[in-house]
Amino acid sequence: MSKLERVDLFDFKSGLLFSLILLFIASLSLGWEYFRYKDFVKFDDPLVRAEVIDQEVRLISEKPKTSIKFRLENGANVRCIMSPYLRDLRGREVLLELQMAKVSFLDYLKGFRTRGAIYEVYPALSLKERWYRRIASQHSDQSMKELYGALFVNSPMSQEFQSLVGAMGLSAVLSISGYHFGILSLVAYFFLRTPYRFVQNRYFPYRHGNRDLFLVVAGLLFTYLSVLEYNPAMIRSFGMIVVGYWLYDRGIKIVSFQTLIIAIGLLLAFFPRLFFSLSFWFSSFGVLSIFIFIRYYEHWKPWQIFLALNLWCYLVLLPISLAIFGTFSWWHIGSIPINLIFNLYYPAVLVLHLTPWADVFDSTLIKMFDSGELRNVVIPMWVGILSIVLALSAMRWKSSFWALGVLGFATLGSAVYQIA
């Protein structure tokens, strides 16, 4: 008996109708945001409640200043420059006065910089900050505290360490993103499946097991997402997981460009701030690169896809990442096998942080980062833009697929030549 084929969700007419619905939802979302913006700026210097999500002392005009990033109660992000003598306020809520006279609606959506003054500090720490401090207490080296804080609770790294991680090509795996969400969902499903099947067979064999397990896993992931204060890349991943399962449950293709477009469209329509999130677009571009590869090589064996996909994603993302960030090192090339190892390392260190042996890999990692170096390379922005154009056209033409791979290798060669 032949296997039933999964079908696409939309034809042209239904796709057009769906697009109009998304535009309507987006207009409502923007209207609501504009209403909140007007309410926010009706005073030139409003007092607002905000959470401190990042704090770092930097040299600004040759003088030490504290750069603080706040998330306001209406969801807007704002960065202020303050005294270098402020105590550590990360994870705390404060009463903040802001100068809003020159802040436009676009600035409000993107996140903005302005002058501010803290009037009151509330004592309670956020759950995310409590988790971070628990993780940090298990490590003595500051870089390890920052690494595992970023890996598990999305706490910001210092500017210096973040630049080093980027130059070594490890940003994608050491800063929590949709990639980690995918690993966590698989781990949660693996551990819940056996006990659920036992209970199901004994008490409710009539229920749809996979559907129940998905609801439990999705609930756990959403709880984690809320603790992480809705990281944009993970919002994209959660949206893809929900949309993907909904389509799969109805016999519709999930590894398709329609799935990606639907997830991105829905998220942007309901959360217009995501349009200005670089991590959201990098995460989406990463998924696009995966779908492009699977489109042409889904007939390969799973282990072949797993190995080749790691190299392919590295090459596809390299031009745009180097064009934007411009940092590279010899370790960057070594990140290809490191990314493969990470699939085992991540769940292992997650378990180790529940035990007294959380720092078992610290000495090895410290040596690795000490041997890393930060080198600047110049890749023109048009190269990064070209990689995006080729990726989009590769959805239709295989010649663009090959051109995209050649562009990745050429970018890698240029970066290696510049640091050699």
Condensed to tens digits (0 to 9), the pLDDT of residues 73-91 reads 888 889 988 888 888 888 8
Residue of 272, 342, 244, 225 whose CA lies nearest to 31: 272
From 161-175, 259-273, 343-357, the region with the lowest mean pLDDT: 161-175
Residue of 367, 384, 280, 362 whose CA lies nearest to 331: 367
Report the alpha-carbon distance of residue 149 to residue 402 in Å, rounded. Answer: 38
> What is the DSSP annotation of 308-372?
HHHHHHHHHHHHHHHHHH-EE-HHHHHHHHHHHHHHHHHHHHHHHTTSTTTTTTHHHHHHHHHH-
Residue of 382, 329, 381 whose CA lies nearest to 166: 329
As a whole number, mean pLDDT of residues 220-247 equals 78
As a whole number, mean pLDDT of residues 377-401 equals 91
Whether pLDDT at 48 is above 70:
yes
Q: Which two tokens stand for residue 247?
A: 């389509």
Mean residue pLDDT across the chain: 84
Looking at residue 141, the DSSP 8-state letter turns out to be: S
- What sections of 41-169 are H helices per DSSP? 105-110, 127-136, 142-153, 159-167
Q: Measured over all CA atoms, what is the biggest interatomic distance in the chain, rounded to whole angstroms?
A: 75
Q: What is the pLDDT of residue 371?
A: 81
Task: Say if CB 46 and CB 97 are below 8 A apart.
Answer: yes
One-letter amino acid at 349 equals V
Whether pLDDT at 259 is above 80:
no
Task: Say if CB 310 and CB 143 are below 8 A apart.
Answer: no
Q: What is the pTM of this model?
A: 0.80
